[in-house]
Amino acid sequence: MRVSVLGTGYLGATHAACLAAWGHDVVGVDSNAERIATLSTGRAPFREPGLDRLLGAGVSSGRLRFATALDSARDADVHFVCVGTPQCADNHAADLSALWGLVDELAPMLDRSCVVVGKSTVPVGTATKVGERLRRSAPAGDGVEVAWNPEFLREGCAVEDSLHPDRLVLGVETDTAQLRLREVYAGLLADGVPLVVTDLATAELAKVAANTMLAARISLVNLLAEVCEAANADVADLATILGYDERIGSSFLSPGLGFGGGCLPKDIRAFVARAEELGVSRSTDLVHAVDDVNMRQRVRAVEKTTDLVGGDLRGRRLCLLGAAFKAGSDDVRDSPALDVASRLHRGDADVVVHDPLALANARRAHPELQYEPDLATACAGADAIVVLTDWDDYSALDPVALSAVVRQPRVLDARLALDAEKWRAAGWDVSVMGR
């Protein structure tokens, strides 16, 4: 089938590569010429395990190509919309300007029947408006159908998640759209991937609902961590105990610096903004609290670092381990690690940031910070080390060897990444968020 993928960022590039691997004839379109130039060579413009291989195979097979001109997508039977929907600059709602810009540019090109499938995360009710707007100005008129197919991939294992998803959600208005999408995903359906066919609104809500549930778990465990600290209890043991309860389960129960990234924070805020627009405002206090608890972890990390270095940050050399919003990714969008780094820098600490992958993105986002790609050099002369991203490289650090490099053997583990007893035994003053 001829398929277009409109917007080739973290989501779209992965989706385009997978569609080509499933045998479709795919064109990926993005207004970012630099991104398209890299993708056209069969390489990913960001770090995602397995994606280079998949892109390379797609491009060399001739089934996958990339372009900056939307006109290249004109002949597709199915168009996947994958543009960004970040948080608005001045409020908590989703900024849909890229989506509407794309819709308005695409509509006049749709002169044959096709399905426009949203994969971007949008406020409930957007899909219906997209359909109306497209049909109003597309030459094919009612031949243009709209469907919503939310994406649940996780950065860091996006390829694996896309090739082996735990569920497939199709929000459709007609059988024609459903049949087209069943054809697109025929391989996954043959593999027995659970399928939920639903209406547009439910499909739009599926992604923000999942992210709100996950965010709530993280903030709840961080609330428990604060209580554990105050009560001299052990939150890691508490999380283990909770995890054995089948009704609760153990995933997303790691206390620490909280969630960030290009999805969770903006998705829960956009969910609340839309719920309030729909008149559901009293119960949204719950999600406001989830956000507040999450953001407070960043302030707590700064406070704990300040305590660790004796109450005054000024002039203290701090080695901050991690810039990515989570291990396995080079994405620094709304990264808790970089937020903490920036707060410490504003507090007049002398910070140096290390990350195994995300330094180029971090430098673009926060040029005011100092960065060091070599771990030992980053730690040299530090008054304290602060672990802000749960990279394996940091769990594997040798506290004995490191104590010879730093000025003061003091560490704050904001991700429960270190073996605290081992570090204490090596003479370190160890502070752990949640313990």
Ligand X SMILES: NC(=O)c1ccc[n+]([C@@H]2O[C@H](COP(=O)([O-])OP(=O)(O)OC[C@H]3O[C@@H](n4cnc5c(N)ncnc54)[C@H](O)[C@@H]3O)[C@@H](O)[C@H]2O)c1
Q: Using CB under 6 A as the criterion, which residues of the chain lie in contact with ligand X when the complex forms?
A: 6-12, 29-32, 35, 82-85, 98, 101-102, 120-121, 151, 153, 155, 262-263
Strand-by-strand arrangement of the 384-387 sheet: 370-371, 350-354, 317-321, 384-387, 410-413, 429-432
| Contact yes or no for 308/384 (Cβ under 8 A) | yes
Minimum gap (Å) between residue 151 Cβ and ligand X: 4
Minimum gap (Å) between residue 345 Cβ and ligand X: 26
Q: Which is nearer to ligand X, 29 or 235 (CB)?
A: 29
Q: Which is nearer to ligand X, 217 or 354 (CB)?
A: 217
Q: Which is nearer to ligand X, 85 or 306 (CB)?
A: 85
Minimum gap (Å) between residue 362 Cβ and ligand X: 16
Q: Which is nearer to ligand X, 160 or 429 (CB)?
A: 160
Nearest residue to the partner ligand X, using Cβ: 9
Minimum gap (Å) between residue 80 Cβ and ligand X: 10
| Contact yes or no for 59/100 (Cβ under 8 A) | no
With CA atoms as reference, report the closest residue to 130 among 102, 92, 151, 170: 102
Minimum gap (Å) between residue 167 Cβ and ligand X: 13
Minimum gap (Å) between residue 383 Cβ and ligand X: 36
Q: Which is nearer to ligand X, 83 or 323 (CB)?
A: 83
Q: Which is nearer to ligand X, 79 or 316 (CB)?
A: 79
Minimum gap (Å) between residue 343 Cβ and ligand X: 25
Is 263 an active-site residue?
A: yes
From the candidates 114, 263, 319, 379, which is the catalytic residue?
263
Residue with tokens 């903004």: 273
Q: Which is nearer to ligand X, 10 or 394 (CB)?
A: 10
Q: Is 272 exposed, middle or buried (0-12, 13-18, 19+ CB in 10 A)?
A: buried
Residues carrying an active site annotation? 263
